[in-house]
Amino acid sequence: MPFVPHTEQDVKEMLDTIGVESIQDLFDEIPANLRVKTLPDGFPQLTEMELGRLMRKRALQDSIDLCFLGAGAYEHHIPAAVWEVTSRGEFLTAYTPYQAEASQGTLQLLYEYQTMMASLMSLDVSNASLYEGGSALSEAILMAARTHRKNKLHRIAIPQAVHPHYRDVVRAIASQLEIEIVEVPYDSATGQTTLAQLETLSTENLTALVIPQPNFFGVLEDVDALTDWAHKHNALVIGVVNPLAMSLLKPPGQWGKKGADIACGEGQPLGVPLASGGPYYGFLCCKQEYVRQLPGRIVGRTVDQEGKQGFVLTLQAREQHIRRAKATSNICTNQGLLVTASTIYMSLLGPEGLRKVALASHQNLQLLKEKLTAIPGVTLVFNSTSFHEIVVRLSKPVEAVLEQLAKEKIQAGFNLRKSYPELGNSLLICVTETKTPADIDLFVKQLSAALNAQADKSKNKNGEPCNV
């Protein structure tokens, strides 16, 4: 049987049965100006050999540059066993891993994942993943709003030091609901969210405070003080965190006197490769008292009539299983394959292995920081402690420096000008355990050369500075 079973005759008979002339008529609610009539790079069919050649050609387009670019997507070493196991057919092609008929193997894996994530966050419960970090934060905010049903208006305080893409996703969702997003400025000297800034906010109808750890600048926040402030004003605390960093730092469940109520973020650092930009997955954990507001599904362990251990779906607060008005979320698909990779990754490394990866990343940052600050024209923007990312200000235009380093096969960092124009010529640089001292020396050498090259360009033929 062919892979696509419907012949042209089959399609014609089905369309005749329902009284429709063409398949396109089934999508007539989509405006004509939004439809794509042809795919410029499409092809009707390929043989296995032709497809293999095409995929190899596409794979060569992926960058193999020396990467110091983080900003929410991080290059870590992934043991070969992780994706060797993840790519097995029973995982790779498993259908609907969140349905009741899921295999015991898939259910057990999700149970193990939930257990590991809850332990890593020091919270009671974890769901079986979401799309990515931005939607996970949005779902966490919706959870907080549902727990404050008496409020006619929900106000969510989000520091500007939260990932700008996450804030965009949150605003897009909150704008459709009675949720007001209040952005909290960061301190220009430390890059942190301070109590002094929070004290300027009105606490009326304050539903939750979002606390990033580390924040988008790589800076560590005073999570204990921020958590206690929020709870003092009867607001929930939502920690949006780097999961790998939690193996080294204090986890959300231990923040302040009571601990954060919800923790979320992007799971990519746990065994998921950069892979040309995705896919990634979001994680979401919470205290037991909020479990009924947790979107998605939860796998539990039980015994059957014969006393044998088994795994089952114990909570499915999604619109496919309950009345739509009662559903906690309409985002119902999880990223099961990536969760599989993370589960295997965490199992192989264990708590101590994760901690060593995080510590090595931080130590590399300290080495990089020492060498960067010795370059004329490079200064640190914030004077606070960082995990594995720092912000530096360059004496020359960031765009030109990045372009020059790209020619040397180096991805030098994330240009902050668009998201944080007030920081000027600032660059967010990341370093992980994958970088050797030789890598760091090469980066520093090429950055210094790029700055010198830009300085030479800014002078005229007589050696005088240009007015441009």
User: What is the pTM assigned to this prediction?
Assistant: 0.87
Between 248 and 47, name the one with better pLDDT. Answer: 248
Contact 82, 271 (CB under 8 A): yes
CATH 3.40.50.300 fits 351-457, yes or no: no
pLDDT, residue 454, reads 83
Alpha-carbon span 298 to 304, nearest angstrom: 18
**Confidence at residue 466, expressed as pLDDT on a 0 to 100 scale:** 41
* Phi then psi dihedrals of residue 212, to 5 deg: -85, 145
**Residue extent(s) of CATH 3.40.640.10 domains in the chain:** 80-346
Q: Where in the chain is the domain with CATH 3.90.1150.10?
A: 351-457
Which one is predicted more confidently, 378 or 334?
Answer: 378
Any idea of the CA torsion for 176, 180, 186, 187, to the nearest 10 degrees?
Answer: 170
pLDDT in tens, 21-31: 998 888 888 99
- Phi first, then psi: give them for residue 264, nearest 5 degrees: -150, 175
* CA–CA dist 330, 327 (Å, integer): 7
Residue 2 has pLDDT above 70, yes or no: no
For 315-373, the pLDDT digits (tens) are 876 555 555 566 677 665 668 889 999 999 999 999 999 999 999 999 999 999 999 99
Residue 438: what pLDDT? 97
Write the pLDDT tens digit of every residue in 251-297. 999 999 999 999 999 999 999 999 888 889 999 999 999 998 888 88
* Region of poorest pLDDT, from 142-146, 348-352, 384-388: 142-146
CATH for 80-346 is 3.40.640.10
Task: Write down the pLDDT at residue 351.
Answer: 96
Q: Identify the pLDDT of residue 58.
A: 85
Output the pLDDT for position 465. 47
Structure tokens at 39: 């795919």
Q: Which pLDDT does position 335 carry in this prediction?
A: 82
- Tell the residue number behind the tokens 């033929």, with chain if given: 461
Split at pLDDT 50, 70, 90, the class of 464 is low
Mean pLDDT (the chain) is: 89
- List the single range of 123-132, 162-171, 249-258, 358-367 with lowest mean pLDDT: 123-132
Q: Is residue 127 within 8 Å of 300, Cβ to Cβ?
A: no
Of 103 and 260, the one with more pLDDT: 260
For 141-157, what is the mean pLDDT? Answer: 88
Mean pLDDT of 222-249: 97
